[in-house]
């Protein structure tokens, strides 16, 4: 779903921002007042592109959601607690913590960012030992490295250009994959309390029985928008254990195995499809593949021919 809001009315802009994010108060200077807010829903998350042609200060309540993105133009500074972040075009930022108010100074700012409910991060990673999804938190507002910042920008661009605002966003598997790709990239970009290295318990539990449970769940549910957290829960282990079990016993990852199973389903659909009303792109999107070229590469590696050749054989 895509929504677009544009106005030169300051009161309307403040009401829209409050309805979209959280309660906030505006202080505006200058004579130009234009606000543009574009939102794209991608599975359980949103991609936003906000442009403000004006200078203004915001005093905002806690957002209760995670907001991270990139400054495209203008100047964007904010303070949350004892931390302050000054951002210029090209900078990647994490905006405040979900439970903390913040203040920002904005000068003709143009922003692209994603909005995520914190519990969703449990779909792709484990918090520290003994913590629940509510225990996830980021420990800094800036990327851990320049490479991490570039990874975030490239991933955001990929999801924005290939999924958000396109018919692909209506495909549950594809939208879910894209959303979790951004969530996983966020965890790799900003410092957090996520634990990535297997614990002693994870190593102990990464046995063949865990793998069999996980494989059985994936085989039976590949048509659903399942995430690593779902598979781990079905196998009664952590996501770290799940990943270790697949590496240890199959020399692959849960995500790669799920992709292989979905590729088999796509292969059957192409074999059974009628070229008159079936397209490779539609089949690929239905099974969670956003990029036609990547789908073709995976398909050719598995079946020795292009998916279009399989479809034409009928």
Nearest to 48 by CA among 7, 13, 1, 108: 1
The pLDDT assigned to 216 comes to 98
Q: What is the mean pLDDT of each run of 10 residues along the chain (314 residues)?
A: 91 91 90 91 96 94 94 94 90 91 95 94 75 68 95 96 89 94 95 85 94 97 95 94 96 96 97 92 93 92 94 78
Helix 292-303 and helix 254-272: axis angle, to 10°? Answer: 80
The pLDDT assigned to 314 comes to 61
The pLDDT assigned to 231 comes to 96
Q: What is the dihedral of CA 252, 181, 177, 280, to 10 degrees?
A: -80
Which residues have C-beta within 8 Å of that of residue 105, sequence separation ≥ 6?
Answer: 56, 57, 75, 76, 77, 78
- What span, in angstroms and rounded, lies between the C-alpha atoms of 179 and 45? 6
The pLDDT assigned to 135 comes to 65
- What span, in angstroms and rounded, lies between the C-alpha atoms of 189 and 152? 7
pTM of the model: 0.89
The pLDDT assigned to 219 comes to 97
Q: Helices (H), strands (E): how many in the chain?
A: 11, 7
The pLDDT assigned to 96 comes to 85
The pLDDT assigned to 131 comes to 46
């Amino acid at each position: 779903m895509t929504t677009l809001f544009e106005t030169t009315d300051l009161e309307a802009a403040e009401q829209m921002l409050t309805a979209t994010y959280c309660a906030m108060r505006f202080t505006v200077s200058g004579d130009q007042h234009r606000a543009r807010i574009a939102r794209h829903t991608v599975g359980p998350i949103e991609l936003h592109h906000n442009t403000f042609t004006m200078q203004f200060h915001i005093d905002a309540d806690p957002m209760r959601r995670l907001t991270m993105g990139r400054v495209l133009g203008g100047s964007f500074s904010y303070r949350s607690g004892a931390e302050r972040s000054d951002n210029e075009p090209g900078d990647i930022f994490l905006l405040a913590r979900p439970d903390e108010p913040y203040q920002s100074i904005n000068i003709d700012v143009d922003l692209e960012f994603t909005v995520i409910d914190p519990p969703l991060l449990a779909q792709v990673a484990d918090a520290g030992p003994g913590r629940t999804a509510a225990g996830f938190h980021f420990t800094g507002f800036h990327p851990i490295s320049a490479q991490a910042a570039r990874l975030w920008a490239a991933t955001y661009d990929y999801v924005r250009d290939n999924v958000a605002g396109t018919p692909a966003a209506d495909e549950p598997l594809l939208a879910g994959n894209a959303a979790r790709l951004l969530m996983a990239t966020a965890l790799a970009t900003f410092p957090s309390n996520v634990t990535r290295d297997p614990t002693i318990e994870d190593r102990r539990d990464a046995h063949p029985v865990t793998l069999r449970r996980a494989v059985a769940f994936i085989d039976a549910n590949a048509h659903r928008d399942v995430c690593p957290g779902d598979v781990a829960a079905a196998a009664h282990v952590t996501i770290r254990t799940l990943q270790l079990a697949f590496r240890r016993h199959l020399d692959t990852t849960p995500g790669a195995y799920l992709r292989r199973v979905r590729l088999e389903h796509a292969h059957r659909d192409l074999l059974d499809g009628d070229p008159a009303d079936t397209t490779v792109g539609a089949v690929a999107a239905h099974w969670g593949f956003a990029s036609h070229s990547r789908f073709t590469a995976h398909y050719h590696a598995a079946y020795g021919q292009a998916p279009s050749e399989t479809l034409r054989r009928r």
